[in-house]
Every structure is written in structure tokens, then in C-alpha cells.
Amino acid sequence: MSVPETKTPLWRQAPFALGAREMAAVSLGMAAWGLVTGMAMVNSGLGVPLSVFMSLVVFAGSAQLAALPLLAMGAPLWLIWATAFCVNLRFVIFSAQWRPFFKHLSRPQRLWHGYLSTDMGYVLFMKRHGGLKDGPDASNRREVVAYFWGGAVLNWLAWQTASMLGIFLADSIPDHWGIGFAGTLALLALSCSLITDRITVMTAVVAGSAALAAYAWPLRLNIVVAIAAGVSLGLFLDHQRRRPDSSDGGAGTGKALDTKGPPEPAVVSAPGRDAP
């Protein structure tokens, strides 16, 4: 009688530990950003219960920080939703790139992956496994998933721990500590780590220029303008890069735009979710 094969839990696999170790290298910056986000939620008037709820359910630092000023100003609900939607559009790109790796999972499992997806998680994952263009074969699917979960769990814990500290200690942390500025520096460092090729450099410049040009607009709409400009240009340039070159008689080289970098999608945004 054959003994049924037992599967090692994901958290006990070596790739899980590897993913956690690689995420630990950026967890300090994520924690600083989470602390600032937690404080910002309380200081904007949400209160502790709603702030805790938002941190756990939304888990998207960029969208949270973009929506908080609008909530404090009493902006229309549609504008708040539109802003959060624009901020998180980059996760559509992430999901498309992740599809070959996770398409074998059930829908509930893929939804959990979507909830835990983050900017830095995407960057680290694609650096480690991006060479598998068609996804992993059946023999190492669990190892790839374990790597994702190792980084995702550590990132979630770092973010939520710091965010909760910011929520419950918002009234105790003095302004002269400069926590907000520290969070800005952490956010800047994490954003710079996402700029990996010529496309992302171009989209970063365009997004920054658009934000400055629309700075005087009310309700901080310059954030929406910057995101729309950056994402639109990034998608266009990424499409041009992947489009076969029609000048060679249809052979197609797929090198319409030389990025001199790894074939990663254009992403320019605050590393939200990184949460968030």
C-alpha cells in the first residue's frame, strides 16, 4: 500500500524564508512609511476605530495617503474613489505580469495574492523569478508561491505593526521629532528603487512635472493628474517596447524601444501597499 504524499507547508519551505529575508532589507523603510500613514489617518479626523479598519482592509499606503486629504476637505465621494482608483492602477500591470505564475491557483487564493501584493513585493519577485516568461513548471510552482508569501507576510506584518503604532500613538509623538519628514524620505527611497530602466525614468519625470504644473489645483487634484500622466505614458512606452518591429517584413524583433534594462512594466508611483 502506497503512502500518500504529504506537502510541506509553505511557511516551512526554503523559498518562504528567502522571500522574507529579501523583503527584510526594505522593511525598515516600509515601517517608517506605515507609521506616518497611521498617524495621518488619526490626525485627519478618522478616529482610532476607522483608522484601524482602513489599515487592515485597504492596505494600500499610496491610496490611503492620497484619499486622506480629500476626506478631511469633505471632497465628493466620487472624487475620493477616482483618486484611489488612479493611484492603484499600477496593480493591474502587476497582476498581468504575475498571471503566468499564479494562474494555477484557485480564485480565492488569487484574491489573497491580490490583497497582499505590493510594489516592493512585485520588484523583488520579478528580480528573482522574472526570467520565467511562461511561469514556473508544475514541479516548482509551490516554491514560487512560497517565495511570494514569504515576502508578502513579512511586509504585511511590518506595515501593520508600524501603522497600528502610528494610530495609537498619534497624540503622543511630538511634531518636532520629524516623523513625517522621515516617512517622506523612506517613501522617496522606496520610489527610487522602482526606477529600473529608461521607461520608468521617463514616466517619473513626466509624472513629477505634471504634479508641479497642476500644483495650484484644488483638492490636491495634481496627484490625480500626475498619476494619470505617468501611467498613460508608461503603458504607451511599454506597449511600444513590446510591439514587433514592422520594418523587418513582419519578422518582429520586439525591440521598438531600447530600454537597456530588464523587461519590466512601467511603474511610477509611491510604493503603496507596500503595502500596500
Q: What angle do CA 4, 8, 9 make, to 5 degrees?
A: 125
* More confident of the two residues 110 and 6: 110
Residue-averaged pLDDT of the chain: 82
* More confident of the two residues 236 and 130: 236
User: Cα torsion for 146, 36, 93, 14, to the nearest 10°?
Assistant: -10
The domain segmentation of the chain, as residue ranges, is: 10-195
- Give the residue ranges of DSSP H helices in the chain: 14-43, 48-57, 61-73, 77-87, 90-102, 107-116, 119-129, 141-168, 179-193, 198-213, 221-242
How many Å from the N-terminal Cα to the C-terminal Cα in the chain?
Answer: 48
Residue type, 62: S
CB–CB of 224/75 below 8 Å? no
Q: Which residues make Cβ contacts (< 8 Å) with residue 149, sequence separation at least 6?
A: 10, 11, 16, 19, 116
Q: Is the pTM of the predicted complex or chain greater than 0.75? A: no
Q: What angle do CA 132, 135, 138 make, to 5 degrees?
A: 120
Assign 194 to helix, strand or coil: coil
Cell numbers placing 67: 484619499
Q: Which residues make Cβ contacts (< 8 Å) with residue 253, sequence separation at least 6?
A: 244, 245
Q: For the segment 125-163, what is each residue's pLDDT rounded down to a tens digit?
A: 988 987 777 788 877 899 999 999 999 999 999 999 999
**Candidate ranges 129-133, 144-148, 232-236, 259-263; pick with highest mean pLDDT:** 144-148
Residue type, 93: I
CB atoms within 10 A of CB 205: 14
